[in-house]
């Protein structure tokens, strides 16, 4: 069956699931089962739809919708297919995870959570498939609204305030996106994306449209400096919703940037657009990870890492735009492919990390890393999955994060080899910032894993923790396996990504893999082979193991019960390293960057105060028109109404008289 039919099935089942969870909301366990069951079926259908759309031509369906100015057009091309696959994979895992996790929220409205999750997922799928600006905006707003309700789910002060900030920034972004679309619609004469693709705008208009779209979608993606909502909104939502928001929704922002910059504005890219994207990407990646290092709230740390990885994705997308502007299709495909591959990888490992954080929080009932510790013994599967996720996000070979970062480096290198002066200047700097990001990410995740899972247990809850429930472990295991497979099977995945990139850009395909080796296009004289690295690692590990085992019979067995050395004292739990002290050198060395945050927050405080004053003034003066015009008319109408009310006697027999009287009157009128 075609991708579109599975797509419709998925949307339909999501809607059914939403209604079902609202209808049975009085019984929590039924609501969880209904919502999760529908969710699993819907995401399976969506996954089939997305995967089948990855190759082959775009499937378009045009239903003349209820509005004459905006047809309901859906277009499932390879890029949309990739996004649909990512959304479906993550929502499948999130629903499996939620089978056990949502029990934590029993009694607080699980039916509502199921309803909003379904609406959220369905609207995301429709956003990536919509091919008409009007419907795109509608589903975009629906997505923001549904996720807002998920953010404020906890109903405490922090959640509500975070939700408000998120709502505010999301709508500011929507306004910019609307402005961009209206400019294009003005030039194209209709709201259809197909019409947008055909029109060519003047360079100034195109640049304005691009900037508006870039900033608007960038606010949704969470790039610096429009990221302020991310570290507050993502921790406030329930963990599986955070996984979806961080793993998928911010990718919709990147998807929008790709759509506006590369798809809709077709061959009109200017060089400086790509450099701007590159610059924002580089700054986001470094600042994101530096701020993540200073956090000891696990979910806030992961949220800042999302900012960082969006920066890395934007690096790839920027090189893609530079390639198009330079009329170098190979470079463009390489850059865009690196960005899309990292998009997929980040969704997988960020989802995994958020689910792992959710499991740990579920058992220890705290979000603070300093109150955890020593959980690897109690929660071995969670620890293993989190370790795989940490390795993947730090771009450690041979996992998937490394493959996409390798391609990003190669894209930057290829751009630096042949390009104008500006490009040759910007790309190596971006590569260096990417390297800095990588090293900082390693530090951050060693800290995160070490403080949470290693060392002594630092609180009562951590001492009494047990392994997470089976469905949560199953969800994490699926994503961990995906991380490993996407890395080891990169020679199979990279050509698919390359096809998506070349289909989106409309240029011929570039060879990205040959057998088990990966290469950044033909003619580059370098290769990578993750399967080979994995095989070598395992094979060469035999030697140290053999050496370790050589004298095993001659020595005493391993003793595992001593206390650690603390210069003669017995070690105390307070001597254990805290998350804050672990990252202290970086906070010391990069102090100016942290100071930026403080000045920004004072500026923000001024802005919020000014806003409050404005709101008070508006509130005082708003009823003026009401008091002068509307209220007198309304009270006059009320008086007149009361007079007329007498007609309604309440006795039905009078009504019969009225009926017959009216009949007679009409007959007289008709007869004359």
Does 341 help bind other proteins (rule: CB under 8 A)? no
Among 425, 604, 611, 617, binds other proteins (CB under 8 A): 425
Residues in the chain: 672
CA distances from 449 to 13, 130, 182, 353 (A): 38, 40, 47, 11
User: Cβ–Cβ contacts within 10 Å for residue 614, how many?
Assistant: 10
Question: Residues 319, 427: contact at Cβ < 8 Å?
Answer: yes
User: Cβ–Cβ contacts within 10 Å for residue 225, how many?
Assistant: 14
Place of tokens 């009270």: 635
Q: In angstroms, what is the minimal distance from the CB of 71 to other proteins?
A: 45
Q: In angstroms, what is the minimal distance from the CB of 330 to other proteins?
A: 15
Question: Residues 483, 392: contact at Cβ < 8 Å?
Answer: yes
Nearer to other proteins, 210 or 406 (CB): 406
> Which is nearest to 59 in space by CA: 38, 35, 86, 78?
78
Among 327, 560, 628, 644, binds other proteins (CB under 8 A): 560
What 3-state DSSP class applies to 65? strand
Among 26, 204, 327, 551, binds other proteins (CB under 8 A): 551
| Residue span binding other proteins (CB under 8 A) among the ranges 9-17, 120-128, 402-410, 598-606 | 402-410
**Chain centre to alpha carbon of residue 511:** 29
Cis peptide before 141 (omega within 30 of 0): no
Does 515 help bind other proteins (rule: CB under 8 A)? yes
Does 646 help bind other proteins (rule: CB under 8 A)? no
Question: Residues 46, 10: contact at Cβ < 8 Å?
Answer: yes
Does 63 help bind other proteins (rule: CB under 8 A)? no
Q: At what angle do helices 78-101 and 490-505 cross, to 10 degrees?
A: 130
Does 645 help bind other proteins (rule: CB under 8 A)? no
| Residue span binding other proteins (CB under 8 A) among the ranges 13-21, 177-185, 237-245, 417-425 | 417-425
Question: Residues 240, 355: contact at Cβ < 8 Å?
Answer: yes
Q: In angstroms, what is the minimal distance from the CB of 142 to other proteins?
A: 36
| Residue span binding other proteins (CB under 8 A) among the ranges 45-53, 144-152, 430-438, 460-468 | 430-438
**Touching other proteins, residues 481-510 (CB under 8 A):** none
**Chain centre to alpha carbon of residue 345:** 12
Does 595 help bind other proteins (rule: CB under 8 A)? no
Q: In angstroms, what is the minimal distance from the CB of 538 to other proteins?
A: 8
**Touching other proteins, residues 432-461 (CB under 8 A):** 432-436, 438-440, 442-443, 445-447, 449-451, 453-456
Does 42 help bind other proteins (rule: CB under 8 A)? no
Among 558, 619, 620, 643, binds other proteins (CB under 8 A): 558
d(CA 588, CA 599): 18
Among 603, 630, 656, 666, binds other proteins (CB under 8 A): 656
DSSP per residue, 579-632: HHHHTHHHHHHTHHHHHHHHHHHHHHHHHHHHHHHHHHHHHHHTTHHIIIIIHH
Does 644 help bind other proteins (rule: CB under 8 A)? no
Among 598, 627, 651, 672, binds other proteins (CB under 8 A): 651
Does 377 help bind other proteins (rule: CB under 8 A)? yes
Question: Residues 461, 364: contact at Cβ < 8 Å?
Answer: yes
| Residue span binding other proteins (CB under 8 A) among the ranges 320-328, 333-341, 466-474, 538-546 | 538-546
Does 585 help bind other proteins (rule: CB under 8 A)? yes
Burial readout 563-584 (b: 16 or more C-beta within 10 A, e: otherwise): eeeeeeeeeeeeebebbeebbe
Does 521 help bind other proteins (rule: CB under 8 A)? no
Q: In angstroms, what is the minimal distance from the CB of 427 to other proteins?
A: 9
| Residue span binding other proteins (CB under 8 A) among the ranges 65-73, 89-97, 169-177, 520-528 | 520-528
């Amino acid at each position: 069956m075609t991708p579109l039919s599975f797509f419709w099935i998925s949307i339909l089942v999501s809607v059914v699931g939403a209604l079902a969870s609202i209808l049975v909301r009085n019984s929590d366990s039924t609501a969880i089962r209904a919502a999760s069951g529908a969710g699993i079926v819907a995401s399976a259908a969506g996954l089939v739809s997305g995967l089948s759309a990855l190759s082959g031509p775009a499937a378009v369906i045009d239903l003349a919708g209820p509005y004459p100015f905006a047809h309901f057009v859906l277009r499932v091309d390879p890029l949309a297919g990739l996004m649909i696959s990512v959304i479906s994979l993550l929502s499948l895992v999130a629903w499996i995870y939620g089978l056990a996790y949502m029990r934590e929220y029993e009694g607080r409205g699980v039916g509502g959570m199921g309803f909003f999750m379904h609406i959220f997922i369905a609207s995301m799928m429709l956003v990536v498939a919509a091919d008409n600006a009007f419907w795109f905006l509608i589903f975009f707003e629906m997505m923001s609204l549904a996720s807002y309700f998920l953010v404020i789910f906890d109903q405490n002060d922090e959640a509500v305030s975070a939700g408000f900030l998120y709502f505010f920034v999301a709508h500011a972004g929507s306004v910019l996106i609307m402005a961009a679309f209206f400019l294009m619609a003005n030039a194209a004469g209709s709201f259809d994306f197909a019409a947008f693709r055909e029109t060519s705008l003047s360079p100034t208009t195109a640049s304005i449209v691009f900037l508006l779209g870039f900033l608007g979608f960038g606010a949704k993606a969470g790039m610096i400096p429009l990221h302020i909502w991310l570290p507050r909104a993502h921790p406030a939502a329930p963990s599986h919703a955070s996984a979806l928001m961080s793993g998928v929704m911010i990718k919709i922002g990147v998807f929008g940037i790709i759509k506006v910059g590369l798809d809709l504005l077709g061959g009109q890219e200017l060089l400086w657009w790509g450099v701007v994207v590159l610059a924002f990407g580089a700054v986001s990646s470094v600042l994101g990870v530096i701020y993540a290092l200073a956090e000891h709230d696990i979910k806030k740390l992961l949220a800042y890492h999302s900012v960082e990885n969006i920066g890395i994705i934007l690096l790839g997308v920027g090189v893609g735009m530079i390639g198009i502007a330079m009329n170098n299709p190979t470079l463009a495909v390489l850059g865009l492919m690196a960005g899309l591959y990292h998009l997929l990888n980040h969704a997988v490992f960020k989802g995994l990390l958020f689910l792992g954080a959710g499991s740990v929080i579920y058992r220890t009932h705290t979000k603070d890393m300093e109150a955890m510790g020593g959980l690897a013994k109690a929660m071995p599967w969670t620890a293993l999955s989190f370790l795989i996720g940490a390795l993947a996000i730090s771009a450690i070979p041979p996992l998937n994060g490394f493959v996409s970062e390798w391609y990003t480096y190669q894209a930057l290198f290829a751009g630096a080899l042949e390009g104008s002066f500006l490009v040759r200047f910007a790309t190596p700097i971006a590569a260096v910032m990417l390297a800095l990001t990588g090293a900082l990410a390693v530090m951050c995740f060693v800290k995160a894993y070490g403080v949470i899972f290693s060392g002594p247990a630092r609180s009562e809850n951590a001492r009494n923790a047990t392994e997470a429930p089976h469905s949560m472990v199953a969800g994490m295991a699926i994503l961990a396996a995906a991380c490993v497979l996407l890395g080891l099977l990169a020679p199979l995945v990279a050509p698919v990504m390359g096809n998506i990139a070349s289909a989106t850009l409309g240029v011929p395909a570039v060879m990205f893999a040959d057998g088990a080796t990966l290469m950044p296009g033909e003619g580059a004289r370098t290769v990578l082979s993750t399967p080979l690295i994995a095989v070598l690692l395992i094979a060469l590990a035999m030697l140290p193991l053999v050496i370790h085992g050589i004298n095993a019979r001659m020595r005493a067995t391993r003793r595992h019960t001593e206390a650690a050395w603390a210069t003669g004292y017995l070690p105390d739990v307070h001597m254990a390293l805290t998350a804050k002290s672990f990252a202290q050198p970086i906070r010391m060395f990069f102090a100016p960057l942290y100071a930026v945050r403080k000045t920004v927050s004072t500026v923000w405080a001024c802005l919020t105060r000014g806003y409050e004053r404005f709101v008070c003034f508006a509130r005082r003066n708003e009823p003026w028109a009401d008091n002068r015009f509307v209220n007198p008319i309304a009270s006059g109408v009320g008086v007149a109404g009361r007079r007329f009310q007498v007609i309604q006697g309440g006795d039905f027999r009078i009504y019969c008289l009225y009926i017959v009287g009216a009949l007679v009157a009409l007959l007289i009128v008709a007869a004359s």
